[in-house]
Amino acid sequence: MTQIITVTNQKGGVGKTTTASALVCGLHQRGARVLGIDLDPQGNLGFTLGLEIGSGSTAYDVFKGTCTMEEAIASTEYGDVLPSDIMLSAAEVEFTAPRREFMLSDLLTGVRDRYDFVIIDTPPALNILTVNAYVTSTGLIVPMEAEVLSLVGVTQLQETIETVRDAFNPDLKVLGILINKFNGRLTLSKDILELAQEVAGQLDSQVFQAKIHRGVGVAMAPAHGQSVLTYQPDSRPAQDFQEIVDAVAGKRFPRPKPTFKQKYISKFFN
């Protein structure tokens, strides 16, 4: 069965695209068949995974019916990607037909069985694109920074999640809250972690045990068209993200065994 996982938080700048790209890349490294779907009009997921933005068809074209899902999907060395661009920002106004909440679910019908995982990156808003992602998903991952405003964004998701469960997708689960830019030495990070655990309980979920620590490679990787997993695979944030991939992949797709070079670097330089 295909797992469809949406990375979501209505607040921007919390690491949604970084998390989505790490999942796509990490699962692909383990031999899984992966499709990344970019529902953010900024188009950053495709860019992060090495696509040249504006060079082909996008999710907007698929929703408009001017091309098929198969025609718009682009292959990369990290997996397949359905890219996005700024045209998708008109979705709330343009897509008003009945069952518009099921657009993505209906379009995925013809391709979903080709993949083990579909990873969806969402915009920093609770709009029709986000609702489409929730309706088609089996699970949600909610990234947040270890700061108060980011936590507020998580709490505001709860009503939308409950509405989608009641009206469209009763099986929707929150797989976990993922804390980014974590520093366990700071009192604020510790306080936010405790509050996040309370919110996770209200969502019948968890805070992932792995926390993503700060690192320059996380910010630099997109400029090179890469995930941090390939740009700085031995860095602390990359190893943190690999633990999240472990949680998503399960025993079916175990982490590849490290090469001798990777063992050497890990032993002497970390």
Distance from C-alpha of 14 to C-alpha of 250, rounded to nearest angstrom? 25
**Mean pLDDT, residues 59-71:** 95
pTM (predicted TM-score): 0.92
pLDDT at 147: 82
Of the two residues 110 and 52, the one the predictor is more confident about is 110
Which H or E run includes 3?
strand 3-7
Residue of higher predicted confidence among 75 and 55? 75
- Return the pLDDT at 81: 96
Taking all residues of the chain, what is their mean pLDDT, rounded to a whole number? Answer: 90
pLDDT digits (tens, 9 = 90+) for 119-144: 999 998 889 999 999 999 999 999 99
Q: What is the pLDDT of residue 259?
A: 60
- Please provide the distance, in angstroms rounded to a whole number, between the alpha carbons at the two ends of the chain: 38
- What one-letter code names the amino acid at 212? I
Which two structure tokens, joined as six digits, stand for 189?
């990070």
Q: What are the φ/ψ torsions at residue 75 (nearest 5 degrees)?
A: -90, 135
**Residues composing the chain:** 270
Asked whether 63 and 83 are in contact (CB, 8 A), the reply is no
178's torsion region: left (phi>0), alpha (psi -120 to 50) or beta?
A: beta
Residues 178, 183, 185, 187: what is their CA dihedral angle, to the nearest 10 degrees? -60
Per-residue pLDDT at 20 exceeds 90: yes
Residues 265 and 234 sit within 8 Å (Cβ to Cβ): yes
